[in-house]
Chains A and B, each alone.
Chain A
């Protein structure tokens, strides 16, 4: 069975601070995808990144960066120089590609509050 754990329920930082959101996953599959989504107060989930299990290269997109480590089953997300608009709930998710499962298994989410 697959499982995603986001141990940080809530994080509060002051604007311009860097913040890292942790994500640990469990899966028996060797082929899988990992995702991060952002859910602002409006409720709509916004796709941020997808990473497949064969690609452990870290990725940077503007102020966002992701660190994928298969050895520790972690896919952490860092926001550099945080801004108030980054305040949202962030979800890490996993999707296995074997069998008939394509749905996303989500972590419980991390509520990030960036204070001005």
Chain B
């Protein structure tokens, strides 16, 4: 069974641009979570989607947004990129909302120049 996949592996942008990161969950999983792992800041929760709806978001500005598609894949969009957005962005999926064992993808390394 395929695990969580993320694309692209690496992404290089310049300040002010927009970045789009993609995630495909494990088959059968309906919940997708996004986390940011920035140097020195640890793993921080960004967004949670389930059944196409945003269920919760972390303490990040509105320029971090996303969506979940009918096939449960998800997209994270970061607008007006800032240097401090450089980080590893990890996507995780889980079976619905009550069973919250989360399985992670390999991440997208975003570098903002």
Contacts and interface: CB of A to CB of B under 8 A. Distances in A.
Interface of A: 33, 35, 37, 42-47, 50, 91, 95, 97, 100-109
Given A102-B56, A103-B48, A106-B43, A47 B105 contact: no
B78 to A, nearest CB: 18
Contacts, number: 59
Contact of B104 (A44, A50, A107): A44
B31 A43 contact: no
Contacts of A91: 43
Interface of B: 31, 33, 35, 42-45, 48, 55-56, 58, 88, 90, 92, 94, 97-98, 100-107, 109
Nearest to A91: B43
Contacts of A47: 101-104
Contacts of A101: 56
12 contacts: A37-B104, A43-B88, A44-B104, A45-B92, A47-B101, A47-B103, A47-B104, A97-B100, A102-B31, A102-B94, A104-B35, A107-B42
